[in-house]
Structure 1
């Protein structure tokens, strides 16, 4: 039973005074999901917008991925099957 689908993803970045915000929207054709991410530059750090873009976009994509997995888990639950949920790994590094 072959299946082919095309989903569209749009990523929006907004930067203002050391804070970069990202919004990513997944359009499956029948539904849409949105993920968000934020990165804050330390005022003492050099202003490199690409780094803020990368962090905020990565965090938005991670948020979207989690929302997509959660939607799949709800769909599985709705079919009466059980879902094994795992806790996300501990993340270190730049603050959110």
Structure 2
């Protein structure tokens, strides 16, 4: 069974006046839209390197989105009548 799909991602990064970098990630699957958020704050004693704030905020937004996708997959698996496998069992869908 061959399946191909294209998901679109919009990533927005911005820094507030207080040195907080925020990331907002929007994933459009064509049938659903999910968004992840993340932030990073530079400690006042640290050197301000905007790229590091971008990386941390983006990584945290991706992590937020990843958790949402995994939870959605678990709901969908249960929705088709499958049960979560016991750790000792092998299943067609593994999380």
Same fold, TM exceeding 0.5?
Answer: yes
Partner of 2:34: 33
> Over aligned residues, Cα RMSD in angstroms?
1.7
Structure 2: state its 5+ residue gaps.
87-95
Aligned partner of residue 6 in structure 2, secondary structure: coil
Give, in whole Å, the separation in 1 of the partners of 2:41 and 2:47.
12
Larger Rg: 2
Question: What residue in structure 1 maps to residue 89 of structure 2?
Answer: none
Alignment length (residue pairs): 86
1:22 alignment counterpart: 23
Separation (CA, whole Å) in 1 of partners of 2:85 and 2:14: 36
**SS in structure 2 opposite 1:73?**
helix
User: Where does residue 9 of structure 1 map in the other structure?
Assistant: 9
Normalising by structure 2, we get a TM-score of 0.84
1:25-79 deviation line (CA, Å, top 9, x unaligned): 1101111111110101101111111100000000000110110011000111111
Distance in 2 between residues matched to 1:84 and 1:65, nearest whole Å: 21
Change (3 A) 1:10 1:84: farther
Q: Which runs of 4+ in 1 moved over 3 A?
A: none
Which one scores higher on RCO, CA 8 angstroms, separation ≥ 6?
Answer: 1
Structure 1, unmatched stretches of 5+, are 86-96
